[in-house]
Amino acid sequence: MKHNFSLFFLLVSFISFAQVEEKKLDELIQSTLKTFDVPGMSVGVIKDGKMIYSKGFGVRSLTTKQPMDDTTLVGIASNSKAFTCVALAILADEGKVNWDDKVSKYIPEFQMYDPYVSQNVTIKDLITHRAGLGLGQGDLMFFPEGGNLTVNDIVHNVRYLKPENSFRTTLDYNNIMFIVAGEVITRISGLSWADFIEQRIMKPVGMNSSFGSYNRAKAVANKIDAHAPVDGKAIAVPHDWNETGNAAGGIMSNIKDMTTWAEFLLNGFTTKEGKKLVSDKNIQQLWSLQIPDRVAMKNPYDTSFYGYGLGWFLSDVKGHKQVQHTGGLIGTVTQFTLIPDMKLGIVVLTNQQSGAAFNTITNTVKDSYLGIADRNWLKNYGDRMQKVEAEYNKQKKEAFAKSDAFKKEKNLQPKAEQFVGKYNDQWFGDVEVAQQGNIYRISCKNSPRLKGELLPFSNNTFIIKWDDRSYDADAYLIFSYDENGKAESAKMKAISDVTDFSFDFDDLDLKRK
């Protein structure tokens, strides 16, 4: 298929049209893969209802070496949240739900930590990151993959999450509330979240190759392996997803379908057959700022407002409204960008977890349409990430060096009987610290993949070195002792800022059983 890639430049006070060679974008993507060690990437650009660019680069898996193309399925992660909100908008248009309905109307057993919030939290609160829970708070109930908790378990356990913020005051990105919103859809419609998304949205929109969950795409050969850096080099890691988290990030899609989704949205939420799935009234709800967040005084797009609507981040870029979201799983990140008044959509899907990679592509394409001269985003992000990664590596190196030094202080190290045993956190479940020969290990009952070795760090602290090195989430395990020198409780925190916020260690409050 031949692609005609036209980008628009604004010269002085006249609008002229300049065709940027497709080859230049191809070369930028190839250089981006190399710079950020991304095995594969697919990119789509839609403008004025026409596909301008649709290609894949690199390989979908370092294991199979099969090429990545624009039909390769990728977990779009949190770009799934928009589908959850559109599903609720469809139900709202049908009179089956109101944005301001109390959550308890549909899930009577639902409670939050604060009784007042339990009684007053609404559907809209769930999907605007303003219910009071902190960034990623509670994510360990479904992240990383392979956990045992069900959606009903998560709905129940929310009551044990002590909020970090006051109700409706702060935008703190949170997945758990979207899982609850997905359960609202299920209880109203009688369909699973994935069934509703596939039947009521994907099918009419024409997203014929997409799936509402990873498990439904297992038989498809043309899908990525995820890749994460381990010891400085990307390796293939399992690419899957807990079914419990579908409403927050479960969809598998590709460039062909995601640009079809973009075209549908830019065309007033109207399908190619002319069917309008969401009323203008509820489109306005979806794309109106519901809760603001801070904006840097100096930023590359002269942005003056930023915040969350319903399922999308909203901001202004050079005077144009931008509707955008990103998504991230272990080993893959994605970005979806719309500038509605320009009828412009940009989609970047990757099989590595470098946000710098998708930003390089999105910003370069976006700048071309905004008439901004080349700002060399590849070099800017490349230089920035070198500095950031150097700082991360320094943090980790210093922690392990201190651990190595403390290992020599045999007389200071705690004895097994002081801390070995079972601990419990109300919302996360049981955690066991055990002795195996000359080493100590930790395992988590409800998250079986979260297990590792304990390395002594101080007389009350160990470093948890997780067995799965792709997590890049080693953490301190800090015991609190009673007057007899026996551990009563424990807290955790990451040893480095590189750790993804969904490794929600800080909110664990482990009590010895």
Q: Show the low-confidence residues of the chain (pLDDT under 50).
A: 1-20
pLDDT at 22 (0 to 100): 83
- What is the identity of the amino acid at 476? Y
With b for 16 or more beta-carbon neighbours within 10 A and e for fewer, the 283-301 pattern comes to bebbbebbbebeeeeeeeb
With b for 16 or more beta-carbon neighbours within 10 A and e for fewer, the 404-438 pattern comes to eebeeeeeebbeeebbbeebebebbbebebeeeee
366 and 507: one domain? no
**Closest by CA position to 439, among listed 423, 472, 462:** 462
327 and 446: one domain? no
363 and 397: one domain? no
Domain end among 375, 401, 422: 375
What DSSP state is assigned to residue 73?
B
Going by C-beta distance under 8 Å and a sequence separation of 6 or more, which residues neighbour residue 115?
none
pLDDT at 140 (0 to 100): 97
Q: Is 419 left (phi over 0), alpha (psi -120 to 50) or beta?
A: alpha
128 and 238: one domain? yes
306 and 435: one domain? no
C-alpha span between 274 and 509 (Å, rounded) = 53
C-alpha span between 428 and 510 (Å, rounded) = 9
Domain end among 375, 403, 418: 375
Over residues 40-68, the pLDDT tens digits come to 999 999 999 999 999 999 999 999 999 99
pLDDT at 412 (0 to 100): 85
Over residues 417-470, the pLDDT tens digits come to 999 999 999 999 999 999 999 999 999 999 999 999 999 999 999 999 999 999
224 and 255: one domain? yes
pLDDT at 241 (0 to 100): 84
- By residue range, what is the domain housing residue 418? 393-512
Residue 361 belongs to some domain of the structure: yes
- The strand pairing partners of 429, in sequence order, are 425
Domain end among 341, 375, 409: 375
What CATH number is given to the structural domain containing 434?
2.40.128.50
What CATH number is given to the structural domain containing 161?
3.40.710.10
47 and 168: one domain? yes
Residue 380 belongs to some domain of the structure: no
**Closest by CA position to 65, among listed 218, 215, 236:** 236
Residue 183 belongs to some domain of the structure: yes
495 and 361: one domain? no
333 and 473: one domain? no
292 and 178: one domain? yes
Q: How many domains does one find in the chain? A: 2
pLDDT at 23 (0 to 100): 86
